[in-house]
Chains A and B, each alone.
Chain A
């Protein structure tokens, strides 16, 4: 199928169909909207898009980056029509039917809302593309999860634009909070309640805010920023692997 974008009427039509799906979880997805000439426009330059299964957000991010590389990045980053159309195209991936029923979540999980900081990162496809565009290498912490979920680590990071504007931030996060042994985020880093030394939820954003008052964070590499963060964050780093001699 040729890649399209919804116009505003198309976005609204999809929104109504999402509401219908919530009422009737067994209803089929509104595939017919995808090529409706009055609700969509073909993207230029033309891009061929095929159905695909994504094992994770990382998988989706890589595919979307390749798929959209010919398009203007500013357009891709802000187009509600494009991402909403893609959400319908890949609806089986981001809202899979289980036992013939779909659990349709909030609209902003499918209808991209680039101007609302609380919502933009909750669009599963967009956030996968955005993270891998910003940081092609150190992204396991945010892109490990499956496409149908928005995990707390991603939410706590992406909702704070001042974090995502620091060039080395994803490498720093991965080095501080990725548990290689478990293949997932370290335990307790986004637990609500009392702040824990060096945690991601409470302490990391506060410490970055403090540092950016004094230091030019744009020019730091990950080693330097980790050093500036201080001892409370060093304890998050994995201990050296013991070897038998």
Chain B
């Protein structure tokens, strides 16, 4: 198996070093607690929180001072971005050189919501949403940080059937898993990354399901190695949920024939 090596010199900042809470309002605001104790950065390295929103090209950057003296900015308004789709990145940057170099990073940080009503982090790894898909019944929308299974909004009840009807999920979900894991492997994500990005979450999911908990291959490995690993995961998924049995059990009822 090919080992991946981090040549960049930057460190992953574990998620517990930063906590962000969004307060809904007009506009929404946020509070952030950043604690870099135990992570060795030069005291003068700059600390930034960057706010992005899925689907938007806007980046709002908040200056939190330096690693040795973290000071939140006064203006922490989430203007021009949808708080429900917001995610943050924490960057520690060495700006003593000509080109700012990233010393440490925590990406895709989902905020908590102070009113407790919404918490994007509690979503499963495969949200199912309705979309205009023409004559397609389903597809997968690979976003930058999230993905979702989209089902045709013009088929009444399909979004619900996708969750409970084996005639849908027993056929579709194995194909979804194949497609998503193949794409995830090609991103070269690592299962032990401190990230909530979909490739990381899905590769962890695959590793847990794999009968021998084998770490997923990298994107550089041969197609056959990738395919073997993915097929083992799909097979384990089908077995765990007895998809063929569930499909058969439901089939007669759908045909109007009592079993």
Contacts and interface: CB of A to CB of B under 8 A. Distances in A.
Q: Do A and B come from one complex?
A: yes
Interface string A110-133: 010111110010000000001000
A219 B10 CA distance: 17
B57 A134 contact: yes
A110 to B, nearest CB: 12
A174 interface: no
Contacts of B55: 114-115, 117, 120, 161
Interface in B1-17: 8-10
A32 interface: no
B143 interface: yes
Interface residues of A, number: 30
B61 A213 contact: no
Contacts of B144: 117, 161-162
B119 interface: no
B79 interface: yes
Given A78-B82, A215-B99, A165 B10 contact: no
A interface: dominant SS = helix
Given A116-B141, A214-B102, A216-B100, A164 B8 contact: no
A165 B99 contact: no
A116 B131 contact: yes
Contacts of A224: 98-99
A228 interface: yes
Interface string A184-213: 000000000000000000000000000001
A216 B80 contact: no
B80 A74 contact: yes
B62 to A, nearest CB: 12
B109 interface: no
A115 B56 CA distance: 9
A116 B10 CA distance: 32
A2 interface: no
Contacts of B61: 218
B110 interface: no
A77 B80 contact: yes
Nearest to A215: B99
Nearest to A130: B57
Contacts, number: 70
B interface: dominant SS = loop
Contacts of B91: 216
Given A218-B59, A228-B99, A165 B52 contact: yes
Contacts of B56: 77, 161
A107 interface: yes
Given A74-B80, A117-B141, A220-B100, A165 B57 contact: yes
A117 B143 contact: yes
Interface string B54-91: 01111101000000000000000001111000000001
Contacts of B9: 214
Contacts of B95: 216, 219
A131 to B, nearest CB: 10
Given A219-B95, A220-B99, A214 B10 contact: yes
B79 A216 contact: no
B59 A213 contact: no
A63 B134 CA distance: 32
Given A215-B100, A216-B101, A161 B57 contact: yes
Interface in A125-178: 130, 134, 161-162, 164-165, 167
B7 to A, nearest CB: 8
Contacts of A37: none
Interface string B139-162: 001111000000000000000000
Instruction: Output the residue of A120, A162, A213 with the most chain B CB within 10 A.
Output: A213
A219 B100 contact: yes
Contact of A74 (B48, B82, B100, B142): B82
Contacts of A164: 57
Interface of A: 15, 72-74, 77-78, 107, 111, 113-117, 120, 130, 134, 161-162, 164-165, 167, 213-216, 218-220, 224, 228
Q: Which 10 A-B pairs have the closest CB atoms?
A: A216-B100, A164-B57, A219-B100, A216-B93, A214-B8, A74-B80, A165-B59, A213-B8, A73-B80, A165-B57
5 contacts: A77-B58, A77-B80, A116-B141, A120-B55, A161-B56
Interface of B: 8-10, 48, 50, 52, 55-59, 61, 79-82, 91, 93, 95, 98-102, 131-132, 134, 141-144
Given A77-B80, A116-B131, 11 more contacts: A73-B80, A74-B81, A77-B58, A107-B132, A117-B141, A117-B144, A165-B59, A215-B101, A216-B91, A216-B100, A218-B59
